[in-house]
Structure 1
């Protein structure tokens, strides 16, 4: 009987061409994943949830009132420690570590009661930093909410909700239609799914369709592929948000992975990224525009730093975990799997704000 249960669970988690009608918790079905992680077949995934130890010092992290515009190129990193603590503790709580669940609850409640991030500088890069902190916070809330008393739910939701809605801000420039906007809408969609707000959910759903509609037939995104040495960097960042949107939709039984608008679906965009990683000259036709390229001004020197872990243990290829676990047919998936095995798998667990946290814990097998 137990083996039958495990087979059934695996079938549900695979969710191939037809998606299970789940409860729409947000990034993933929390209860289904929690049940899976308790099974022997998911021992390695559970180990990934617990791979990073809980740091007692996280309970002393002081709430941040304000994130600011950064000087020059980059993003305010003042919330990095908070985001990392939330991502690690969320994975551990999902795997059943009661001490981490309590630490996560106390950390979020302390920041909520202090009204953290309430005095944001209204600049696009400050808001970008806020989105990066909020997506893991939304994932954390979805994991915690089952065990929270109503009063704690109210405190947290009354803190998170206005902050999430604040990110639905227009700055009258490219950031209103590039990867900054994609991240915002992936956040709005995830929170909308958690609290059953259809208008918020629709922000991400509609954005996903518009990204496909605006992509070139070769899978490149015009606003990202022109970014000089960081063309592939921002293509990858956009894909992370697309995958988050697709996963949120999947918990509600909607398949965005196979959605095609014109000649483009997600696989076409993935293929363009993979082509560029294999042969960076592929992107030169667009990257040579050299629009806000960052520190490297030679577009021929594509920044592939996203292929390795960054500071705080983050890995910007964490978005590949949910995409690969679906075991979809097609050349793009086969190529991505080969890249994953060759260059990424050994760096698990893959944890990143753009994927909402510990992606190996949330989706990996």
Structure 2
């Protein structure tokens, strides 16, 4: 009996080591942003018929086959970043949602499009500067998710071609620029991309970038849920609070696949969590005057210079049909605290009618990835 116990103990230890290896399958989760096989199976059920319809709601365009690869994303003058690849990003996000929803033609078109850009080394010549790198980050999360969706049907050669293209681009955005962009929503976006890609390819060091950023953000959050570097942004204070929440949602969802519940993670003082940050956004939406406590600093406010006129454009569909509140499809089911219930009510009352919610900050068609019937 003692020998049997020792044998079982050794097997348990060995199993633990295997599950901790980069790229190892996890019995209780998945790799990447969400469980692709499980979601594909769920979307075939009658219960999720309306959600599957959201996966297929945006038609694929044959013109996307002729999108010319872009060698580099460039710095821009003034506020904003290079949007020359927006058509490509939109095509990737629409096609990956359609592929997840079972559209075989879209899956083939997505693979062909990405392989063409990979073979042309698209984005490889992007100069190392915070502005073009920000634009690059916005391209990479949809590409990582599309790769994850395509992976089961790619040949080994195709998978290698795409991995060899995406991987060095992802690792480049880990650059530091000795400024606020190393600490604010730019960095949170970068770490969300690094984490998702690290999970897909089995790089635990990249994966931990996201976990570390999530915890650091909680530590930096004020007691009222505002973020010092975002709340000062004048008319766009709530805009950037939401943007940080979107990237934190991506991090939390990738963590779920590894058995980590970051939605329930508390700051070192035990007083702040994702729900605290979420409450600050929702409070600001309910009573915009609350945001002026810090937004009066008017630091790089964006197009609107009057901090008393908060920019709430993120509540509506923007260019190419994208929606900055797409993260709510996942975050609304993140926990049991009041903030999550408030967010769920907001989705019902103001966002569900705008489905599908698609955005590069969450990697694509969030309704398709996480949405439930409403």
What aligned pairs does 1:76-155 form with structure 2 within 5 A after superposition?
76-155=82-161
1:58 alignment partner in structure 2 = 64
Q: Give CA-to-partner distance per residue, 1:37-59, whole Å, 9 cap, x none.
A: 11111101110100000101101
Among 247, 251, 255, which residue is 2:253 paired with? 247
Matches within 5 A, 1:225-244: 225-244=231-250
Deviation (angstroms), 1:148: 0.6
After TM superposition, give the deviation of residue 264 of structure 1 in Å.
0.7
Pick from 179, 199, 203 the counterpart of residue 197 of structure 1: 203
Instruction: Please point out which of 320, 324, 334 is paired with 1:316.
Output: 324
Structure 1 distance, partners of 2:121, 2:349, is 44
Question: 2:348 & 2:30 partners in 1: Cα distance?
Answer: 30
Aligned position for 2:280? 272
The equivalent of 2:51 in structure 1 is 45
After the TM superposition, which parts of structure 1 deviate over 2 Å for at least 4 consecutive aligned residues?
Answer: 20-25
Q: CA deviation at 1:22?
A: 4.0
Change in CA separation of 1:352 and 1:273 when aligned onto 2, cut-off 3 Å: same
Q: How far is 1:152 from its partner?
A: 0.4
Whether 2:348 is the aligned partner of 1:357: answer: no
Name the SS of the counterpart of 2:199 in structure 1.
helix
Contact 1:87 1:136 in 2 (8 A): yes
* Contact 1:21–1:253 (CA under 8 A) maintained in structure 2: no
Q: C-alpha displacement at 1:123, in angstroms?
A: 1.7
Residue in 2 that maps onto 1:215: 221
Q: Deviations over 1:134-153 (max 9, x none)?
A: 10000000000001110001
2:314 and 2:325 in contact (8 A); partners too: yes
Q: 2:233 touches 2:299 (CA, 8 Å); kept in 1?
A: yes
- Report whether the alignment pairs 1:348 with 2:351: no
1:269-348 → structure 2 map (5 Å cutoff): 269-326=277-334, 328-348=335-355
Cα separation, 1, equivalents of 2:336 and 2:195? 27
Instruction: Return closer, same or farther for 1:353/1:38 CA change in 2, 3 Å cut-off.
Output: same
Q: CA deviation at 1:342?
A: 1.4
The aligned residue for residue 21 of structure 2 is none
User: Deviations along 1:212-234, whole A, 9 cap, x unmatched?
Assistant: 00100111010000000000000
Distance 1:22-1:60 versus aligned 2 partners, 3 A rule = farther
Report the counterpart of residue 20 of structure 2 in structure 1. none
Residue 13 (structure 2) aligns with: none
Higher radius of gyration, 1 or 2 = 2
> More deviation in 328-337 or 44-53?
328-337
Shift of residue 325 of structure 1? 3.6
Residue number among 43, 49, 69 corresponding to 2:75 in the alignment:
69
Cα distance in 2 for partners of 1:27, 1:300 equals 37
* TM-score, length of structure 1 as denominator length: 0.93
Task: Give me the whole-angstrom Cα distance separating, in 2, the residues matched to 1:41 and 1:292.
Answer: 46
Quote how far apart the aligned CAs of 1:23 are.
4.3
TM-score by length of structure 2 reads 0.91
- 1:170-226 deviations in Å (ceiling 9; x for gaps): 011000000000000000000000011000001101000000001001110100000
Q: Distance in 2 between matches of 1:179 and 1:71?
A: 20
**Is the 1:24–1:194 Cα contact (8 Å) retained in structure 2?**
no
- Three-state SS of the structure 2 residue aligned to 1:223 is helix
| CA drift at 1:21 | 5.0
Query: Could you give the per-residue CA deviations for residues 258-316 of structure 1, whole angstroms, max 9, x where no partner exists?
Result: 00012110000000000111111101111011111012111111000000000100000
Aligned length: 345
How far the C-alpha of 1:32 sits from its partner, in A, is 0.7
Do 1:21 and 1:251's aligned partners in 2 also have CA atoms closer than 8 Å?
A: no
Displacement of 1:24: 2.7
Alpha-carbon distance in 1 for matches of 2:240, 2:303: 14
